Every structure is written in structure tokens, then in C-alpha cells.
Amino acid sequence: SQIYVLTWSRRQPQHLNMPDSNNVTSEPVRLVNGNNSCSGRLEVFYNDQWGTVCDDGWDLSDAAVVCREMGCGDAIEAKSGAYFRPGGGQVSMSDIGCVENEPTLSSCSSKKAGEFYCDHSKDAGIVCRSLVRLVNGSHSCSGRVEVFNGGQWGTVCDNGWDYSDAAVICKEMGCGNVFEQRIGGFFGQGLGPVWLSDVQCYNSETNLRRCNFQGWGQNLCGHEKDATVACKRDICGMQLITTENYFSFFTIFFLRFHDTKQANIIHRQQLSLCRYSGRINLENGFNACSGRVEIFNRWGNTNWGTVCGDGWDLSEAAVVCREMGCGDAIAAKGAAYFGQGPHWYPVWLDDINCIGNELTLAACESKQIEDFQLHYKDAGVICQCKLLYCHSCKNTEKKILSVNSSSLKNEKLLSSFNPRLLQVHYYVYDDIALNLWGKIE
């Protein structure tokens, strides 16, 4: 068998707690198993328990109400067919009919549990556009905090900016815990309005807009006081990307160990394993699978640069998402949606035309340029971002060992193991089995 060494992109799955029994209406909806707090399987609190929503009649108008209710901006996509994995418990609602101007999902017409039949294979999901981003950081989970309001991105003043405020940002971005919060424009000064000041969060909020703050734009701060945050990325969920030119489908097995020699398979998950060229990157996005498209040109004086958004559509975005190992394309963004690239970066490509089945962006037709004035057209993408999520990041759930076909039948295996070694054993369609391994830090 062949051995592939993997690189990891790690993110934390969304974990939401049961609402307080004395205040059950404060969190009537939540999104679970998404890439951040503004995407995931929709769950509602009904009859004193959390339940899912059936996708019968589920559309973008319904999703828009939930996104607005959660402070998550516009709805990008209404998902069906348990796109974010099937839930558990009751299916609480079905046949939801929102006009789109309702303040909450409970204001829309719907059928309640007991009035319909639906199972969890039809659980509805949502992808909203997050209204917060981190800019100019060292990775997608660090940078200057910017929020979207009134059609314009702006910054946050560092007056009163502390750990609890930063923690809410990291949670909203799906970036785990806070590494540190900074003041004084640590990641550079932003442009446009300073939207927020004197932010006061209690670390229980799911997004920044649920915290207390002065009115929008009602402050005297300058950009020298722009607030920043650095979150921890090295946590349980991970995306497997080979450094080889290889593409196939595989099954990941999450195991729970009872002792040092025995484990039970607690979850199977089908995913695709994709190559990654290392010559393309996504910057300033909501997560590792969204952002401004940047490409590497070995012949340029400045190697990294951006891509012009002229003619940029889902066909081109699909190729980028595939090359990054990030699943399907959800949206193709132009007009520097994720911010303009650094002024010293050239725009390397223009008029890109992909069929959509190419393995790399370099395989598409394009015009090669070297322009420093077109960054207002920088192209971006939002990908599906299929990540491998453990059910929790506690104890033994992150210890994964390879299993063989005989142990699959019994759903048990006997093996000695190293708690810090991750091994994934998967099966391609021609029954060739490969072992993949890497370290858990």
C-alpha cells in the first residue's frame, strides 16, 4: 500500500447548549454542524426540546428569515436533504411558508410536530452570509475585525475591547477559542466607517451583533484604534488534503476507545480526498474555504497575486473549490467582496473561462496580466467546506485508527495505538485500500 502525508486545516464544529429553562424564547433557533455560527442544520426549540425542520417547501425566503433572526445577514442558500448531516430527536416543523419580511421563523406559517410525517433524511439547513470578517491577519482566523452594515464594511473601535468580545468573534467565525485580542490597529488600519465602539460581550452570545455597543457609527474613533483578534485554529475538525496528484472517495471512521486495545466505530462519514497544488490560496474569508482568490506565479517579481473578477462565475469558483479540497462552490464573488489584495500584489489573471470540470484554475483559459490598479475587482469564492468533524473534542474521540474490512463487519478492532497518531483507512471504488497518517498536535 502507498503512504500519503497529509496537511491539515483545522476548525471547530459548532456546539450550542440548551437554552435556559427560564428564557427559552431567547434562542428559539440555532444552526448546527456548519462551518461557522451562520451556517448549518436548522434546529428549533419546540415543546421543551430541540428538533429539526423538514425540508418540504423549504426555500430561500424561509432561510432569509432565519439568517436575519440570528443576525447573520443575507441568506446565501437554503439546503435540503440533511446537507449538514441528519439530526436527532423530533422533527419539529415542516411546510414553512415565510414571505421573507417576518421578524422570526415562529411568525411564519408552518406545520408542527404531529401534523406531518418527515424523517431526518430531509433535515433543512442554511448558509447565511456572515456579517463579520477578519482582515490582514496571518491566517483566516486572525486579523482586524470588520463588520458589514448598510451595504458597507467598517471596523470596530478598541474602546473597551477585551477577551470576551474577541471570544464571540472567534465563535462566530468558527475559529475556536481566543489566542489573544489586540488594540491599536495591530493588523493595520482599515478603511470606511468605524461602525462599533464600546462593545460589551459576555461570551455567551453567538455573534457580535447580540452584544451591547454604542449605536452604529456613533463614536469619535479613528482607524488607529481598530480592534483585532487572533483565534486558535489547531483544533479537532480537520480537512484532509494530499500533496500528491490524487483524487478519490473514502470513508472516515470515528472511533471511541474503551481501553488501549478495543474501539467501537461511532460514526461513518463519506468525503472526497482531493489534491492541493499549493499554488492557490483563499484570504480574508469566513473560514478556510472562502475568501479572496490568490495565486502563485513563479515567474513574477512578486510571486503571489490576485485574480480579476471580470466574467467570474460559479464555473470558475467550482474549480477553485475543487483545487482547494473544499467541496462544491456555493457562491462566486467579485468586486473585492473579501477586501482588496495588498497594493504590492499584482492582479495576475483576467477573463478566466472555466468549463467547471478542470482540476486546477491554471487549466482554465485566461488572459495573463500584471496590473496593480484592478484590486477593486478582486475575485473571491465561498465553498461548501466539507470538513472532518469529531462528535466532540474530548477524551478519545479524536483518536482515529485504521480499520480493515473484517473489523468493519464487527464494528470493532483490536490494536495497540499511539494516542497522538491519527490514521485514516479508506476504500476507493476499485477496492484499493490506502493508509493515510499524520500527527494530532
Q: How many CB atoms lie within 10 A of CB 145?
A: 30
pLDDT reported for residue 139: 67
pLDDT reported for residue 173: 78
Nearest to 340 by CA among 373, 311, 372, 378: 378
Q: Provide the grid cell at 165.
A: 468580545
pLDDT reported for residue 406: 32
173: burial class by Cβ within 10 Å (0-12, 13-18, 19+)? buried
pLDDT reported for residue 394: 34
Nearest to 403 by CA among 417, 392, 387, 391: 417
Any idea which residue has 476507545 for its cell?
A: 257
Nearest to 75 by CA among 109, 34, 47: 34
pLDDT reported for residue 53: 94
3-state secondary structure the chain: CCEEEEEEEEECCCCCCCCCCCCCCCCCEEEEECCCCCEEEEEEEECCEEEEEECCCCCHHHHHHHHHHCCCCCEEEEECCCCCCCCCCCEEEEEEECCCCCCCHHHCEEEECCCCCCCHHHECEEEECCCEEEEECCCCCEEEEEEEECCEEEEEECCCCCHHHHHHHHHHHCCCCEEEEECCCCCCCCCCCEEECCCECCCCCCCHHHCECCCCCCCCCCHHHECEEEECCCCCEEEEEECCCCCEEEEEEEEEEEECCEEEEEEEEEEEEEECCCCEEEEECCCCCEEEEEEECCCCCCCEEEEECCCCCHHHHHHHHHHHCCCCEEEEECCCCCCCCCCCCCEEEEEEECCCCCCCHHHCEEEEEEECCCHHHECEEEECCCCECCCCCCCCCCCCCCCCHHHHHHCEEECCCCCCEEEEEEECCCCCEEEEEEECC
Say if residues 27 and 87 touch (Cβ distance below 8 Å). Answer: no
**How many alpha carbons fall within 13 Å on the CB side of residue 117?**
0
User: What residues contact residue 24 under an 8 Å CB cut-off, 6+ apart?
Assistant: 45, 48
Domains contained in the chain, CATH given: 39-128 (3.10.250.10), 132-231 (3.10.250.10)
Q: How far is CA 211 from CA 45, 131, 148, 184, 202, in A?
A: 22, 14, 15, 21, 8
C-alpha–C-alpha distance, residues 183 and 267, integer Å: 43
pLDDT reported for residue 295: 87
pLDDT reported for residue 238: 38
pLDDT reported for residue 306: 92
pLDDT reported for residue 232: 67
Tens-binned pLDDT, residue by residue, of the chain (441 aa): 222 222 222 222 222 222 332 322 334 888 887 766 778 899 998 888 889 999 999 999 999 999 888 877 788 889 998 888 788 888 999 999 998 788 889 889 999 988 899 998 899 999 887 778 888 876 667 889 998 887 788 999 999 898 889 988 888 777 777 877 777 778 888 888 999 999 998 877 877 888 888 888 888 899 999 999 888 653 333 344 333 333 333 444 444 334 333 334 434 443 444 434 457 888 887 766 788 999 877 554 557 889 999 989 998 999 888 887 677 788 899 889 888 888 888 898 999 998 877 778 888 888 888 888 899 999 999 887 654 433 333 333 233 333 333 333 333 322 333 333 333 333 222 222 233 333 232
Nearest to 120 by CA among 71, 206, 54, 193: 54
Nearest to 38 by CA among 183, 207, 259: 207
